[in-house]
Amino acid sequence: MSISDFLRGSPDGIDVSGPKLIASFDVFGVKINLTETVVLSWVIILAVVLLLLWLTSNMKTKNISKKQVVAEWAVLTIYGLVEDTMGKHWKKISPYIAGLFMFSILGSLISMLGLRSVTADFNVPLTWALITFVLIHSTNIRTHGLGGYLKGYAEPVPVMLPMNILSEVSTPVSMSLRHFGNIVSGMVITSLLYFALSVITKKIGIAFCTIGIPAVLSLYFDLFSGFMQAFIFIMLTMVYISNADGNAEEN
Amino acid sequence: MDFLSIDVGTILFTLINTGLIFLAFKFILFKRVDEILEKRQQEVTATYQKADDALSSANADKEKYAQAISNAKEEASGIISRAEKLAQKQGDSMIAKARDEAQAVREKASRETEREKNLAKQELQGEISELAMELAQKIMEKEINPKDHERLINDFLQNLGDKP
């Protein structure tokens, strides 16, 4: 095997490709693809629903079980985070923030089971970024009025209008690409590394490299990176919405 | 699928999936935990209320008992003072009675003594006069007129009787 093969990727070695297409429908002339990403999302949803049902089953007010402690801690932590970054009047968005966080983490960590990360499909973080985009602008219009919202584009001076529009558009783009790029680069690096280590193992005949090193790197690229990107994504969502909120509490 | 592509189908499905996750979190985790927290809050409030009620009722009881104890003390001191007075009175009356009785006994004794004395005196008088008579008879037989002697002796005895 030569370096060029390594970089090009070989059919039996590196598999860095897009999500597999499972089915395709034609709905009113629009082609709707059912991909690996969506199916894995359903697996994640099922896992989350089962986890939440288990966590919240048999809750009591006294002598609480450990899983109830976890459930209450999770809820109160998210409430605290949302109230700290957005203010008390945004408490109702907490379930969305928690859900997004969970979806993002599990979507990234599913790679540790040998499956393709849901968040390594650009469409997923793009969808979330678009939801955030809609929330930002609806909040802005709701709190400033349509006139105030439109006037905001011409501030501080009208000549800034193109810049402001660009800035608004770049927000979802940067958010989605950041998330996608981090996860997918982790995925690519991990794949390359596994491939390289297996090549080295084949060459020297001792499997010392494939034990241990991948685990440590996977810990960083999958676990840490997945967690960080999920956290960054929800924090940015909250901060952007809060910034657009004209009723934000001054603290 | 391409490595980096925008796919409407995936976006729509992800939108629905995100909505499902949101609903799962909202109606399973957050709703249930909120309910349980609310319930616990109510229980805590109720417990505090109960504790406050118990405290105030305990304070009321304490007041009542303090009142009862002070009443009991007053009553006890009343009883004691009454008992003391009664005892004093009874003691006084007993002493007075005893004194009266002692007086009566003494008087009786004194009367008895007087009577005994008189009796003894009379007896003595009788004996002495008899003795004197005998003596006088003897003397009369020997020397003098018995009439004079009897008078003398009677005078003497009369004098004697006057001086006890």
A98 touches chain B (CB under 8 A): yes
What are phi and psi for residue B2, nearest 5 degrees? -70, 155
Cβ of B21 and A131 within 8 Å?
no
Q: Report the amino acid identity of residue B147.
A: K
| pLDDT mean over B7-12 | 88
Q: Each residue of A131-160: pLDDT tens digit?
A: 999 999 999 999 988 988 888 888 888 888
β partners of residue A25: A32
CB A178 within 8 A of CB A232: yes
β partners of residue A27: A30
C-alpha gyration radius of chain B: 62
pLDDT at B155 over 90: no
Cβ of B34 and A75 within 8 Å?
yes
- Across the interface, of B7, B20, B30, the residue whose CB is closest to A123 is B7
| pLDDT mean over B17-25 | 94
Nearest chain A residue to B40, by CA = A61
Our CA dihedral for A19, A25, A30, A36, rounded to 10 degrees, sits at: -10
Q: How far is CA B5 from CA A37, A125, B26, in A?
A: 13, 12, 32
Residue A188's pLDDT band, with cuts at 50, 70 and 90, is confident
A32 touches chain B (CB under 8 A): yes
Q: What is the pLDDT of residue B140?
A: 65
Q: Report the amino acid identity of residue B161.
A: G
Which residue from B141, B140, B143 is spatially nearest to B153, judged by alpha carbons?
Answer: B140
Of B89 and A247, the structure prediction assigns the larger pLDDT to B89
β partners of residue A32: A25
| pLDDT mean over B106-126 | 89
3-state SS assignment for residue B163: coil
Residue A11's pLDDT band, with cuts at 50, 70 and 90, is very low
Q: Each residue of A84-98: pLDDT tens digit?
A: 998 888 889 999 999
| Structure tokens belonging to residue B107 | 């008087």
Task: Note the pTM of the prediction, 2 decimals.
Answer: 0.71
Lowest model confidence (mean pLDDT) among A168-172, A185-189, B134-138? B134-138
Give the span between the Cα atoms of B50 and B73, in whole angstroms.
34
Q: Report the amino acid identity of residue B4.
A: L
Give the span between the Cα atoms of B89 and B147, in whole angstroms.
70
Q: What is the pLDDT of residue B62?
A: 95
Q: What is the pLDDT of residue A61?
A: 81
pLDDT above 90 coverage of chain A, percent = 39
Q: Please give the DSSP secondary-structure letter assigned to residue A26.
A: E
Which residue from A21, A22, A42, A24 is spatially nearest to A32, judged by alpha carbons?
Answer: A24
- Across the interface, of B1, B13, B15, the residue whose CB is closest to A18 is B1
pLDDT at A251 over 50: no
Largest interatomic CA distance in chain B: 197
Mean pLDDT taken over chain B = 87
Which residue from A40, A82, A58 is spatially nearest to A239, judged by alpha carbons?
Answer: A82
A43 touches chain B (CB under 8 A): no
* Residues in A 188-247 with any Cβ partner in B closer than 8 A: none
Q: What is the pLDDT of residue B68?
A: 94
Q: What is the pLDDT of residue A12?
A: 53
pLDDT above 70 coverage of chain A, percent = 89
Chain A contacts of B4, Cβ < 8 Å?
Answer: 18, 122, 180
User: Which single residue is written with the structure tokens 């370096």?
Assistant: A3
Residue B161's pLDDT band, with cuts at 50, 70 and 90, is low
Nearest chain A residue to B4, by CA = A122
β partners of residue A24: A33
One DSSP character per residue, B84-137 reads HHHHHHHHHHHHHHHHHHHHHHHHHHHHHHHHHHHHHHHHHHHHHHHHHHHHHH
| pLDDT mean over B28-33 | 91
